[in-house]
Amino acid sequence: MKLSHSVKNGICFVAVEGSLIAQDAIEFKTEIFALLENTNCRGLVVNCQQLHEIRSAGLGYLAMLSLNAEKMQKGFALFQLSESLRAIFQTTNLDKKIQIFDTEEDALNYW
C-alpha cells in the first residue's frame, strides 16, 4: 500500500494505491489519523481509484476514521471507487455513513 497527499483549498486529498488488508490497513489508519490530527485542513478526502482490494479491517478503519473526523469537526469522504468497491460499501451500508463522490471536483465542491 502506498499513500500520497496534497492540500487543495483547505482539503487534504490522499491517494491510496494497493489494498487495505492486514498490515496495510493498519498503516493506512495510522497515517490517515495523523493527517486528520496534524493538518489545518477542514476535511480529508481519499482517492480510491488505485485501491484494488479492501477487507473487513480496512472497512472498519474507514468507518472509525469517518467518526474521528466528525468528532474533530472535519469532513471525511472517498471518491473514485470502482464498481466492486462501491458494491461492498452499499452491501455494508457504509455508503450511508461515509460520503462518497464520483470525482475529485465533486469532493472539493462539497465543502
pLDDT by residue, tens only, the chain of 111 residues: 999 999 988 899 999 999 999 999 999 999 999 999 987 899 999 999 999 999 999 999 999 999 999 999 999 999 999 999 999 999 999 999 999 999 999 988 887
Question: Which grid coordinates belong to 15?
Answer: 491517494
CA–CA separation, 97 and 82 (whole Å): 18
* % the chain with pLDDT above 90: 87
Domain residue ranges in the chain: 2-76+91-104
Residue ranges of the alpha helices (H) in 1-111? 22-38, 56-71, 83-91, 104-110
Looking at residue 39, what is its pLDDT?
76
Q: Are residues 85 and 54 in contact, defined by beta-carbon separation less than 8 angstroms?
A: yes
For residue 107, give the nearest of 49, 51, 45, 62 by alpha carbon. Answer: 45
**Which CATH architecture best describes the domain 2-76+91-104?**
2-Layer Sandwich (3.30)
CA–CA separation, 103 and 100 (whole Å): 9
